Amino acid sequence: MRIALDAMGTDRAPMPEVTGAIQSLSHLDSDIEVVLIGDEEIVRTELERHGQCPDRLHVHHAPEQVTAADPAASVIRKKPSSSMVVGLRMQQAGEVDAFVSAGSTGAIMATSLFTLRRLPGIDRPAVGTPLPSLKDPFLLIDSGANVDCKPEHLVQFAHLGSIYAQHTMGRPQPKVSLLNVGEEPGKGGELVADTYDLLLDEPGLCFVGNVEGGGLLRGECDVVVCDGFVGNVLLKFYEGVAASILSPLGKERDDDEETGGLSDVLRILDHADTGGAPLLGVGGVSIICHGKSPPRAIRNAIAVAARAVSSDMVGHSARNISGSGAWLEEMK
């Protein structure tokens, strides 16, 4: 298995990427290789700081870099030699099995959609972000890809999230909840009320009902479904709370410090441990990381990508949603 890592994505690239990649190799199966994509000179200079380059770590040259100023939809045309486009094109060509990037979320989504394409039966790929809770992490989907949704889109998110939770997060029968303003059926506006009714009758899902904002951190479900507007506001608010609290407390862990340093209570504010956020519903593995990711978060995202590949997440999604994996076989 080969995992492409955009070496130029984080705010402090390529330090967190290179460090995270090196760390990840000692945690991953020995048949997994990581390909750092970026300006070779810059990446090799950073690698030298770490001494010898591990055998299973490769560098693939890509001279351009996507910035926040690049309009997301035009990156594929205007920056064809960027680490992001090169990495995703390599997956499209079958040269790597997964792609991980901490670059602009919008650009990763748009470029992934263009290169990996939508799975049949999926109208809107969605971002699933794993968030810590008082119990196990849960997947918030959609956390930002689609701001205007219809009930059938939310049902697709439920399937995508459930398959991901089962195969990649290791939940045998994922409990799926709908984010709402009350727990009772019939709560919420038109979108969620109609979605609730659809989810109740939907086969292949373990739908456990509505969850309120206050119930999320209790961790009683594995997948929380919402439209990308609410999900994005919530996710960024969560990150804002975390930054406001952890940063002044000196609890931001930029380095490779292990979790023992942070109390269990504050752990729920720190999602570097839960790994990257997959773009679900495309014909490949594309993992999105926060632009401020420390090496630890990159390492976790690589592990997430490896699990997604080895569990054949995309195959399961294609078979479950379109009822057949034929399309995927054809595409290969």
Strands 286-288 and 277-280: antiparallel
Which of these, 234, 237, 188, lies nearest to 209 by C-alpha position? 188
* CA 265 to chain CA centroid, nearest Å: 24
Q: Which of 11, 71, 241, 329: binder of a second copy (CB under 8 A)?
A: 241
The full length of the chain comes to 332
Does the footprint of a second copy cover residue 144 (CB under 8 A)?
A: yes
Stretch that binds a second copy, among 52-60, 90-98, 157-165, 236-244 (CB under 8 A): 236-244
Looking at the DSSP bridge assignments, the partners of residue 38 are 61
Of residues 230 and 287, the one with the C-beta less far from a second copy: 230
The maximal CA–CA distance of the chain, rounded, in angstroms, is: 60
Which residues share a beta bridge with 100?
5, 287
Pairwise CA distance, residues 273 & 5, whole Å: 18
Question: Which residue of 11, 123, 148, 255 would you call a contact of a second copy, by CB under 8 A?
Answer: 148
Q: Which stretch binds a second copy (CB under 8 A): 157-165, 198-206, 224-232, 281-289?
A: 224-232
Q: Note whether 68 binds a second copy by CB under 8 A.
A: no
DSSP string covering 119-181:
PTT-SS-EEEEEE--SSS-EEEE-SSS-SS--HHHHHHHHHHHHHHHHHTS--SS-EEEEE-S
The closest of 108, 117, 114 to 83, measured between CA atoms, is 108
238 binds a second copy (CB under 8 A): yes
13 interacts with a second copy by CB under 8 A: no
Q: Does 136 bind a second copy (CB under 8 A)?
A: no
Least Å distance, CB 230 to a second copy, is 5
Sheet of 57-61, strands arranged across: 57-61, 33-38, 2-6, 98-101, 286-288, 277-280, 126-131, 138-141, 223-225, 175-179, 206-211
Nearer to a second copy, 245 or 326 (CB): 245
Question: What is the total count of residues that contact a second copy (CB under 8 A)?
Answer: 42
User: Could you tell me the smallest distance in angstroms from the CB atom of residue 224 to a second copy?
Assistant: 10
Q: Is 277 in the site for a second copy (CB under 8 A)?
A: no
269 binds a second copy (CB under 8 A): yes
Which member of 7, 126, 268, 328 binds a second copy (CB under 8 A)? Answer: 268
Closest CB 180 distance from a second copy, rounded Å: 8
The answer to the question of residue 234 lying near a second copy (CB under 8 A) is: yes
Does 243 bind a second copy (CB under 8 A)? Our answer is: yes
Closer residue to a second copy, CB minimum distance, 25 or 193: 193
Q: Which is nearer to a second copy, 233 or 326 (CB)?
A: 233
Q: Does 114 bind a second copy (CB under 8 A)?
A: no
Closer to a second copy by CB, 51 or 214: give it: 214
Element (H, E) at 223: strand 223-225
SS3 35: strand
Instruction: Identify the CA nearest to 274 among candidates 170, 176, 178.
Output: 170
Site string for a second copy, 165-204 (x = CB under 8 A): --------------xxx------xxx-x------------
Phi, psi (degrees; rounded to nearest 5) at 266: -80, -15
- What is the binding site for a second copy (CB under 8 A)? 134, 144, 147-148, 179-181, 188-190, 192, 212-218, 226, 228-230, 232-241, 243-245, 248-249, 264-266, 268-269
